[in-house]
Amino acid sequence: MSVTTVNLYQQLAQMSGLEVRRDEPMARHTSFGIGGPADILVIPQDTVNLVEVVRTLATAGREPFYIGNGTNLLVRDGGIRGVVVKIAGALTGIEHDGNRLISAAGESLAAVCHHAAQQGLCGLEFAAGIPGSVGGAIVMNAGANGGEIAQVLEWVEAINAGNEVNRYQRSELDFDYRCSQFQAGRWVITRAAVALTAATPSQVRQSMYEAVEKRCQRQPVSDRSAGCIFKHPPGDYAGRLLEETDTKGMQVGGAMISPKHANFIINTGGATATDVLALINQVHDKVEAKFGVRLDTEICIRGEDM
Ligand SMILES: Cc1cc2nc3c(=O)[nH]c(=O)nc-3n(C[C@H](O)[C@H](O)[C@H](O)COP(=O)(O)OP(=O)(O)OC[C@H]3O[C@@H](n4cnc5c(N)ncnc54)[C@H](O)[C@@H]3O)c2cc1C
């Protein structure tokens, strides 16, 4: 760790209400269970605390890497130089305002779905079973079964380049398939509102239950993964192309293409990011050779090689 990073660590460690860790293995913060150390990992207590961190880092000329629950993330084996700020579990809370649910960015999407079902609010059924935080879901425009978070989003609050918390209406924001302008990484999402529709609680609960059941049947939900590795190419499914290329069960080190779902790579134990990346390249090339289609990765890949 450089002298300036050590100084920054000391400065952050003196701020009240923050959890600050040095050389923190990112494997502890990703659903893959893979990833080298971050020089500094900061977990703020609340939005006020987060604003202080963002300003301190801006003054030090540092751009942090924000993470939610790390369920769409592959961190390379050399880890992340600089500061990682973890929002999941830190900024929490759900408020209810008519048919609108307002959630802090670190709240789990599952908790918001549960709240919607309890209140008899429909619109989030597609999201049942998607792991991760509300902030991560907005950045990735997470979705399933034809639905995506951008469809129900009303507004997002984020700390912008001027280090102020600002509210942005959905109409001011650009979203695309598994894509949002937040992926540039300059803003951190703090809160968001989804606009839902009144329905019967038991109906919403039933639809969510069915969505989760379907997911459990088709996906390796009890294995360590980061969800789908590749985005669907226009008009097709990445899983179909991978399945028809006989990739299921392919393995590099501890990384394996799930025998249950060809678009999932699972960590069978001791997998490294290098294993995962080598496997991604192998199956990518097999699909390109057979179908002439170049698949794009859906997961976020960050950090340095060993
Ligand atoms: C078993 C499994 C099933 C999955 N199924 C689906 C699915 O059906 N559909 C789907 O879309 N995804 C799926 N995923 C992927 C993943 O769960 C989603 O993309 C999820 O929304 C990511 O949320 P997260 O909090 O874990 O984000 P992270 O993985 O922590 O981060 C994702 C990106 O968001 C950024 N980010 C996170 N929080 C913030 C914030 N507050 N402010 C600014 N930037 C932030 C990070 O920098 C990163 O670029 C699945 C994953 C697993 C493991």
Sheet holding 100-104, edge to edge: 94-97, 100-104, 188-195, 153-159, 165-169
Instruction: Using 50 as the pLDDT threshold, list the residues of the chain that sit under it.
Output: none
Same domain, 76 and 99: no
Q: Please give the pLDDT value at position 2.
A: 79
Distance of CA 214 from the midpoint of ligand 1 (Å): 20
Going by CA atoms, what residue is nearest to atom 46 of ligand 1? 67
Q: How far apart are alpha carbons 7 and 15 in whole angstroms?
A: 13
Q: How far apart are alpha carbons 265 and 31 in whole angstroms?
A: 12
Task: List pocket residues of ligand 1, CB cut-off 6 Å.
Answer: 31, 66-73, 87-88, 105, 130-133, 135-137, 139-140, 142-144, 182-183, 185, 188-189, 219, 221, 225-227, 300
Residue 157 C-beta-side C-alpha neighbours within 13 Å = 15
Same domain, 121 and 201: yes
Same domain, 107 and 192: yes
Same domain, 131 and 59: no
Going by CA atoms, what residue is nearest to atom 50 of ligand 1? 227
The pair of three-digit structure tokens given for residue 263, joined into one six-digit string? 């678009």
Contacts of 61 (CB under 8 A, 6+ apart): none
Q: Please give the pLDDT value at position 161.
A: 78
Q: Would residue 225 count as lying in a domain?
A: no
Distance of CA 202 from the midpoint of ligand 1 (Å): 28
Pocket test for ligand 1, best of 139, 216, 218, 299 (most atoms within 8 A of CB): 139
CA 133 → CA 37, 48, 70, 86, 141, distances in Å? 22, 19, 9, 11, 12
Q: Would residue 140 count as lying in a domain?
A: yes
Q: What are phi and psi of 161, to 5 degrees?
A: -60, -25
CATH code, 174: 3.30.465.10
Pocket test for ligand 1, best of 47, 92, 126, 130 (most atoms within 8 A of CB): 130
Task: State the angle between helix axes of 201-218 and 109-119 in degrees (0 to 180), rounded to the nearest 10.
Answer: 150
CA 234 → CA 177, 221, 250, 280, 295, distances in Å? 10, 26, 25, 20, 10
Same domain, 61 and 130: no
The pair of three-digit structure tokens given for residue 2, joined into one six-digit string? 């450089």
Q: Please give the pLDDT value at position 163.
A: 86
**In whole angstroms, how large is the CA radius of gyration of the chain?**
20
Same domain, 111 and 32: no
Beta-bridged to residue 147, according to DSSP, are 144
Same domain, 179 and 292: no
Total domains in the fold of the chain: 3
Same domain, 82 and 102: no
Q: Please give the pLDDT value at position 1.
A: 74
Distance of CA 69 from the midpoint of ligand 1 (Å): 7
Same domain, 45 and 108: no
Single out the residue in 218, 251, 266 at which a domain terminates. Answer: 218
Distance of CA 10 from the midpoint of ligand 1 (Å): 30
CATH code, 262: 3.90.78.10
Q: Would residue 198 count as lying in a domain?
A: yes
Single out the residue in 32, 67, 86 at which a domain terminates. Answer: 86
Task: Find the domain containing 289 and state its range.
Answer: 238-302
Distance of CA 165 from the midpoint of ligand 1 (Å): 22
Report which DSSP code applies to 190.
E
Q: Where are the beta strands (DSSP E) in the chain?
A: 19-25, 37-43, 65-67, 73-75, 80-86, 94-97, 100-104, 121-122, 143-144, 147-148, 153-159, 165-169, 175-176, 179-180, 188-195, 197-198, 251-252, 255-257, 265-267, 300-302
Question: What's the mean pLDDT when you consider all of the chain?
Answer: 96
Q: Would residue 255 count as lying in a domain?
A: yes
The pair of three-digit structure tokens given for residue 203, joined into one six-digit string? 């109906």
Same domain, 99 and 204: yes
Q: Would residue 267 count as lying in a domain?
A: yes
- Name the one residue in this structure whose structure tokens are 């902030």: 135
Q: Please give the pLDDT value at position 3.
A: 73
Q: Of 305, 287, 221, 304, which is closest to residue 296 (Cα–Cα)? A: 287
Same domain, 105 and 198: yes
Report which DSSP code applies to 94.
E
Q: Would residue 249 count as lying in a domain?
A: yes
Same domain, 110 and 204: yes
Q: Please give the pLDDT value at position 89.
A: 85
pTM over 0.75: yes
Single out the residue in 86, 105, 132 at which a domain terminates. Answer: 86
